[in-house]
């Protein structure tokens, strides 16, 4: 990505314009803290190509997770637009966004976000069940892929951290999403589990053909990416 000014205006190469799956333009986001309004995201432009692995880095408080939430339509910008596969997300209501999240997006969070009363198999199947597209064969395929067949009937509180995150990775990919968003997906794991989970995510995402956008502090993870975006004080800065 190139930045043409301090406001992080992006000039997309011609091939990027034709390939871009996700585009965001002039995103701004403020939050109310007491009597003050703090500007968290400042005039950000960004694109992600189909099948691309993009890492977003920056110090704590730089706006990484807030930006990810805007790109994933988990939050609304104060101004600016986000489009996925040509559809303007920022103009849709919550019901329409929920359908797009179910069909076209996958999510992996640092704290796993598994449903505590569902088994491994049921957690993985959940996005398909919500969309009324039950596919037991696909669930079985992913349980095998993340090496959790022996845990398929276990609840989250019976799993290790690595097993929980492997379940979350399988859930994120079960519906063949166009794009997967991951916020510090290895942040709560030891080095061995972190390496295993990240490799699984990369392997499964490649099989599905999903784009992948990851917020991380891990430079080793950034080295695997197709492109690294660095944030500072709510803006994208040149690297």
Q: What is the mean pLDDT of the chain?
A: 88
Within-domain flag for 145 = yes
> How many separate domains does the chain show?
1
Q: How confident is the model at residue 35 (pLDDT cuts 50, 70, 90)?
A: confident
Within-domain flag for 211 = yes
What does the pLDDT look like over 206-218, one tens digit per residue?
899 999 999 998 8
Within-domain flag for 206 = yes
Question: SS in 3 state form for 77-146?
Answer: CCEEEEEECCEEHHHCCHHHHHHHHHHHEEEEECCCCCCCCCCHHHHHHHHHHHCCCCCHHHHHHHHHHC
- CATH number of the domain enclosing 137: 3.40.50.300
What is the domain extent for residue 100? Answer: 51-62+91-237
CA distance 45 to 32: 23
Within-domain flag for 1 = no
Within-domain flag for 215 = yes
Cβ neighbours for 100, distance < 8 A, ≥ 6 positions apart = 73, 84, 87, 89, 92
Within-domain flag for 110 = yes
Within-domain flag for 163 = yes
What does the pLDDT look like over 93-132, one tens digit per residue?
899 998 899 889 999 998 889 999 999 999 999 999 988 8
Token pair for residue 238?
A: 């040149």
Within-domain flag for 31 = no
Residue 16, pLDDT > 70, answer: no
Match 């999240």 to its residue by tokens: 101
């Amino acid at each position: 990505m190139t930045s043409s000014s301090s406001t992080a205006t992006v000039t997309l190469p011609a091939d990027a314009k034709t390939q871009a799956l996700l585009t965001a333009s002039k995103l701004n986001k403020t939050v109310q803290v007491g009597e003050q309004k703090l500007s968290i995201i400042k005039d950000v432009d960004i694109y992600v190509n189909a099948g691309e692995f993009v890492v977003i880095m920056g110090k704590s408080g730089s706006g990484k997770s807030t930006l990810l939430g805007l790109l994933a339509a988990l939050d609304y910008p104060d101004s600016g637009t986000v489009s996925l596969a040509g559809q303007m997300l920022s103009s849709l209501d919550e019901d329409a966004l929920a359908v797009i999240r179910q069909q076209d997006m996958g999510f992996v969070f640092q704290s796993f976000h598994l449903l505590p009363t569902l088994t491994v198999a049921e957690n993985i199947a959940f996005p398909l069940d919500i969309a009324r597209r039950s596919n037991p064969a696909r669930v079985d395929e992913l349980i095998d892929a993340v090496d959790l067949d022996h845990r398929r009937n276990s609840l989250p509180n019976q799993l290790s951290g690595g097993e929980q995150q492997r379940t979350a990775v399988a859930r994120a990919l079960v519906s063949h999403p166009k794009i997967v968003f991951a916020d510090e997906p290895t942040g709560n794991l030891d080095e061995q589990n972190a390496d295993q989970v990240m490799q699984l995510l990369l392997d499964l995402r490649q099989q599905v053909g999903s784009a992948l956008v990851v917020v991380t502090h891990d430079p080793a993870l950034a080295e695997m990416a197709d492109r690294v975006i660095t944030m500072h004080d709510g803006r994208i800065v040149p690297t």
